[in-house]
Amino acid sequence: MNFELILVVATFASGLIWLVDRLVFRPKRMARLESEAQQLGHEAGIERKEGGDSEPLLVDYAKSFFPILLAVLIIRSFLFEPFRIPSGSMMPTLLVGDFILVNKFTYGLRLPVVDTEIVPMSEPERGDVAVFRYPEQPEVDYIKRIIGLPGDTVRIEDHRVWVNDREFPLEEQGRYEGDANLKHAGLTVALEDIDGRLHQVLLDNGGHLRSGEWTVPDDEYFVMGDNRNHSNDSRFWGTVPESNLVGKAVMIWLHWNWQDGGFDAGRIGRSIDVVESD
Give catalytic residue positions.
89, 144
Task: Give residues with Cβ within 8 angstroms of 170, minimum separation 6.
Answer: 159, 160, 161, 190, 191, 192, 193, 201
**Type and span of the H or E element at 253:** strand 245-257
Q: Can you point out the beta strands (E) in 104-187?
A: 109-110, 117-119, 129-133, 141-148, 153-157, 160-163, 166-167, 170-175
Edge-first strand order for the sheet with 170-175 is 170-175, 188-194, 197-203
Residues 191 and 200 sit within 8 Å (Cβ to Cβ): yes
Residues 168 and 154 sit within 8 Å (Cβ to Cβ): no
β pairing state of 80-84 and 220-224? unpaired
| Closest to 226 in 3D by CA, of 184, 266, 263 | 184
| Closest to 245 in 3D by CA, of 130, 111, 145, 136 | 130
Residues 110 and 118 sit within 8 Å (Cβ to Cβ): yes
**Torsion of the alpha carbons at 257, 262, 268 and 273, rounded to the nearest 10:** -60
Residues 80 and 102 sit within 8 Å (Cβ to Cβ): yes
- In degrees and rounded to multiples of 5, residue 224 shows phi and psi of -145, 155
Q: How far apart are CA 116 and CA 134, in angstroms?
A: 17
